[in-house]
């Protein structure tokens, strides 16, 4: 291929892929399958590697990320990013309408109603149709340049389409959809990290990550809602939003032109109910005067535009008493304070406890024992304390002091600089940490030792029978038979009774023996090495093949493995530097656990990268249960990834018989291709 031919092909591929990104992420109407898209992208990546000087500024390969940003540069906004005045009151909204009409001497004013996204405000600067800069709100006068990270968000165009001005600034909200939020928190839980409290915090945290390739994995989204141009191209805000769509921006379909205050209330009331069906969070409705000339007449205060207001929905909240603050010690030693409340009914369930997150959260709200506290359900799921009723505080109530010693083992707590959490460093001897590791080891995705559910680990630990993971393989019939004990099940709020009878003991010992055949990747996951999740364990095992090879690997060897970053590499090195961990591995190996891929497994591991970067969901029934498992293995053997829920991350759903109708409908709405087993086999057979 000549240089000119390469240039022409790169230009064509860039334009095609950007168009398909727009169709998929903005219009939610893909024109080609994910497989065809990936083939185009792979061709472009190879060409750009061969001809790096021909890479275009709007190349879709920039969305993959990879750049490292140690410090985000502060940038002054050309137009200040003011906040909106808020109200929870219908009467205040009527006053806003009345004030607008009085100032303008008009009997009626036209408004635009938009959803108020619960995310992170962003300003996007374009020159000659190319994205030049993305700046956070900051203090409204200046914000942080997060361009590298924002380029990974596929619903934000890198190059505009249509008839756009040479210079423009577009403003919007970056959000994290619910599916992405739940998946991210699940990963954090597996890694023993503190979970994000809500999608807004997760979106904000993602934008400030130093590694843009990590941002790309977070599946952020963005809705645009305002535009500044040097010359006025239209007369109304509604026309501006419509024009933004033609330039390639994602503008919410849920906007409404309202001609009076009554129509505004219809929109507000409609979305107070309908917001529960959205795949992302909103916390209200934004009302804006539609005509630009009227916006100019109304002007601004020092902090807010006079022509706009946000009506915020009230979350259901109740007032109850904070009786006590207790502390939970996690598997990795993180200390989580928990509010024990006087039981109260909230959104259909009785709430007795609420997470207090960390010391900073308690200090920020100035929470004290015996306070009357307001409790809401975050996302209508998780109870959280949102405010204190100061008028009912006891005059003598002392300020709250976070504990200095572990509540379980009395070890002095540590708080690293720049981290919110306190943690107990007594990794080896702190009982909750030990029990947490034991529970992780036997869990379904790890060693899958059935018969050691709720309460039984506690009892075995108290009896001194199990103190580290090797002890499971030392248990005998005589150790277990006849053990009986009651315990309190917090989830069911009642007493339970555990009895190790003959059949129970036999089944448990059989399950322990059976676990010795669990494959190496699940054994590695079961060890509980910090930050190693189920997928990263599979990647490491596929690459290193044996525990000895993994032990010998240095930092560079580890980060050379796909999806293994700095944190995981450092955690692995720290784990193998501890002689007690090496002894545990030697003991488990002697006991018969799998610490290398068998010859059959070596041949059964990744055999091609045809499905690299693709995600699959297997749904429905196949000819046999074994056949379904074979399909799942084929996905991984060819470099693909399996996930268990329908989301926009999916490349394909492989459907057998009797696929659930709800899942099928959700997939169709998301534009996810549904293929048969035969289609899938053709996919991996193609060169």
**CB-neighbour burial class of residue 49 (10 A; exposed 0-12, middle 13-18, buried 19+):** exposed
Q: Where are the alpha helices (DSSP H) in 282-430?
A: 292-298, 359-365
- State the DSSP string of 94-113: HHHHHHHHHHHT-S---EEE
Contact 475, 465 (CB under 8 A): yes
Q: Which residue(s) pair with 253 in the sheet?
A: none
3-state helix, strand, coil in the chain (%, to 5): 40, 20, 40
- Main-chain dihedrals φ then ψ at residue 390, nearest 5 degrees: -60, -30
Mention every residue, 6+ apart, whose C-beta is less than 8 A from residue 626. Answer: none
627: left (phi over 0), alpha (psi -120 to 50) or beta: alpha
What is the C-alpha to C-alpha distance for residues 433 and 435, in angstroms, rounded to an integer?
5
Contacts of 364-370 spanning 24+ positions with Cβ under 8 A? 366/399, 366/400, 367/322, 367/325, 367/339, 367/400, 368/322, 368/393, 368/397, 368/398, 368/399, 368/400, 369/322, 369/323, 369/324, 369/325, 369/397, 369/400, 370/321, 370/322, 370/323, 370/394, 370/397
CB atoms within 10 A of CB 241: 21
What is the C-alpha to C-alpha distance for residues 20 and 27, in angstroms, rounded to an integer?
10
Residue tagged active-site, from 94, 116, 250, 384: 116
Among residues 136, 220, 147, which one has the least CA distance to residue 184? 220
Asked about 567 being catalytic, the answer comes back as no
- Main-chain dihedrals φ then ψ at residue 72, nearest 5 degrees: -90, 120
**CB-neighbour burial class of residue 612 (10 A; exposed 0-12, middle 13-18, buried 19+):** middle
Among residues 247, 246, 245, which one has the least CA distance to residue 255? 245
Q: Residue 274 carries which DSSP code?
A: H
Contact 353, 338 (CB under 8 A): yes
Tokens of 76: 């002054």
Tokens of 123: 């300003």
Q: What are the catalytic residues?
A: 116
């Amino acid at each position: 291929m000549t240089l000119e031919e390469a240039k022409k092909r790169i230009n064509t591929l860039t334009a095609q892929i950007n168009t398909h990104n727009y169709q998929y992420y903005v219009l939610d109407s893909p024109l080609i399958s994910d497989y065809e898209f990936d083939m185009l992208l792979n061709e472009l990546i190879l060409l750009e590697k061969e001809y790096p000087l021909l890479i275009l500024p709007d190349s879709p390969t920039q969305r993959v990320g990879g750049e490292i940003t140690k410090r985000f540069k502060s940038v002054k906004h050309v137009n200040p990013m003011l906040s909106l005045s808020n109200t929870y009151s219908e009467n205040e909204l009527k006053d806003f309408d009345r004030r607008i009409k009085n100032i303008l001497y008009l009997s009626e004013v036209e408004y635009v109603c938009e959803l108020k996204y619960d995310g992170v405000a962003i300003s996007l600067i374009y020159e000659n149709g190319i994205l030049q800069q993305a700046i956070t709100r900051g203090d409204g006068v200046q914000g942080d340049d997060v361009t590298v990270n924002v380029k990974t968000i596929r619903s934000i165009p890198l190059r505009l389409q249509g008839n756009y001005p040479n210079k423009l600034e577009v403003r919007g909200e970056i959000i994290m959809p619910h599916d992405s939020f739940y998946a991210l928190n699940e990963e954090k839980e597996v890694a023993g990290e503190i979970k994000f409290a809500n999608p807004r915090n997760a979106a904000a945290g993602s934008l400030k990550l130093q590694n843009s390739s990590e941002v790309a994995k977070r599946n952020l989204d963005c809705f645009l809602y305002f535009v500044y141009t040097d010359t006025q191209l239209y007369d109304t805000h509604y026309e501006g939003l419509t024009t933004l769509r033609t330039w390639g921006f994602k503008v919410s379909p849920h906007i409404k032109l309202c001609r009076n205050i009554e129509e505004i209330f219809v929109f507000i009331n409609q979305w107070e109910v309908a917001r529960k069906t959205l795949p992302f969070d909103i916390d209200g409705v934004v009302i804006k005067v539609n005509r630009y000339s009227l916006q100019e007449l109304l002007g601004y205060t020092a902090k807010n535009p006079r022509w706009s207001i946000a009506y915020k929905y009230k979350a259901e909240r109740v007032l109850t008493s904070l009786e006590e603050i207790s502390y939970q010690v996690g598997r990795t030693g993180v200390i989580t304070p928990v509010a024990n409340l006087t039981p109260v009914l909230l959104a259909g369930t009785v709430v007795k406890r609420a997470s207090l997150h960390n010391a900073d959260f308690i200090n920020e709200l100035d929470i004290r024992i015996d306070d009357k506290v307001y409790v809401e359900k975050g996302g209508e799921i998780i109870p959280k304390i949102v405010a204190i009723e100061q008028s009912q505080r006891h005059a003598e109530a002392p300020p709250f002091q976070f504990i200095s010693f572990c509540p379980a083992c009395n070890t002095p707590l540590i708080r690293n600089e720049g981290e919110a959490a306190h943690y107990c460093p007594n990794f080896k001897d702190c009982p909750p940490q030990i029990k947490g590791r034991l529970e992780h080891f036997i869990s379904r995705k790890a060693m899958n030792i059935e018969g050691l559910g709720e309460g039984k680990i506690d009892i075995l630990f108290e009896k001194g029978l199990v103190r580290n993971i090797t002890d499971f393989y030392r248990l005998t019939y005589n150790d277990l038979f006849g053990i009986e004990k009651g315990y309190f099940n917090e989830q069911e709020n009642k007493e339970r009774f555990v009895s190790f009878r003959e059949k129970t003991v036999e089944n448990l010992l059989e399950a322990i023996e059976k676990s010795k055949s669990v494959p190496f990747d699940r054994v590695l996951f079961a060890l509980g090495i910090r930050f190693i999740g189920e997928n990263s364990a599979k990647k490491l095992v596929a690459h290193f093949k044996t525990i000895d090879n993994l032990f010998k690997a240095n930092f560079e060897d580890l980060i050379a493995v796909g999806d293994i970053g700095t944190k995981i590499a450092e955690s692995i090195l720290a784990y193998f530097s501890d002689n007690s961990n090496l002894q545990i591995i030697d003991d488990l190996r002697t006991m018969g656990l799998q610490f290398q891929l068998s010859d059959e497994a070596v041949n059964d591991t990744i055999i091609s990268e045809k499905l690299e970067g693709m995600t699959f969901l297997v749904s429905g029934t196949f000819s046999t249960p074994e056949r379904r498992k074979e399909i799942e293995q084929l996905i991984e053997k060819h470099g693909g990834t399996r996930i268990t829920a329908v989301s926009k991350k999916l490349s394909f759903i492989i459907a057998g018989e009797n696929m659930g109708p709800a899942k099928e409908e959700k997939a169709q709405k998301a534009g996810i291709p549904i293929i048969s087993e035969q289609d899938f086999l053709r996919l991996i057979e193609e060169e």
